[in-house]
Structure 1
Amino acid sequence: MQWMFLCLAILFEVAGTVSMKLSSGFTRLLPSVLLMFFYGGSLFFLTLTLKSIDVSVAYAVWSGMGIVLITIVGFLYFQENISVMKLISIGLIIAGVVSLNLIGQGAEPQTVHKSEQ
């Protein structure tokens, strides 16, 4: 269930970013209202996600996949340029998110208390 919440948080964040672009600096009412709705929804679902997924992993996936998806939307919908360097950078983001997930799943939880440091 937590991964479904995270996917919804990502989709809402991407919709919020698209609304931000369409709002033209808060000069258009509907996209401006949608921007607030979508970002609020994104934070709502991200908060639910954090009940059971480590914040480091959840935030990396949320922000990383948001970057990837909004880059695709920018290229396809807003006709933004995409360069080889952008593609390499996005590949590195994806590699980082995958690495964090693999490390998070395979590692034994270790707790360090302040008194032990």
Structure 2
Amino acid sequence: MNGVLIYLLLGIAVAAEVIATTALARSDGMTRLVPSLITVVFYSFAFWSLSIVLRTVPTAIVYAVWCGFGIVLITLVSWVVYGQKLDTPAMVGLSMIIAGVVVVNLFSNSVTH
């Protein structure tokens, strides 16, 4: 699989994880059927997608990208959709996560492109 396809699949895994996490927050402890089913289906799809990406990209890199972008995106969803406010330290921390993922992907010799 070529690099663009791998990173597209990784992006899909991140999006699936964000959808699953959003649904998990609405599942009321997995007691509401529809959000619970969405959670299980989308986490399963996210992990399946990750398993394909892990055939090519080192585990540490995949996990750093998946977690980093997942954290940032779920935070943005929580802020925009649910009105959960972020203070300055939270914004600085999220910026550092993004910077870390960019540095790993642009400058690390561990990344296969």
**Length-normalised TM-score, structure 2:** 0.90
Q: Percent sequence identity over matched residues?
A: 34
Q: Distance in 2 between matches of 1:47 and 1:81?
A: 34
Q: Distance in 2 between matches of 1:57 and 1:80?
A: 29
Cα shift at 1:14: 0.2
> Which of 67, 73, 79 is 1:75 aligned to?
79
1:83-104 alpha-carbon deviations (Å, 9 max, x no partner): 1111000001011111111233
Compare relative contact order (CA 8 Å, sep 6+) and give the higher one, 1 or 2. 2
Partner of 2:46: 42
1:16-55 superposed matches below 5 A: 16-55=20-59
Structure 2: gaps of 5 or more residues:
none
**2:23·2:36 contact (CA, 8 Å) conserved in 1?**
yes
Cα shift at 1:78: 1.1
Q: Distance in 2 between matches of 1:51 and 1:67?
A: 23
**Length-normalised TM-score, structure 1:** 0.87
**Structural RMSD (CA):** 1.4
Cα shift at 1:23: 0.5
Structure 1: gaps of 5 or more residues:
110-117
Name which one, 1 or 2, has greater alpha-carbon Rg: 1
- Whether 1:88 aligns to 2:86 is no
Q: Distance in 1 between matches of 2:11 and 2:90?
A: 23
**2:20·2:39 contact (CA, 8 Å) conserved in 1?**
yes
* Residue identity matched to 1:96: G
* Residue identity matched to 2:60: S
> Which of 52, 66, 69 is 1:65 aligned to?
69
Give the secondary-structure state (helix, strand or coil) at the position aligned to 2:82: coil
Give the secondary-structure state (helix, strand or coil) at the position aligned to 2:107: helix
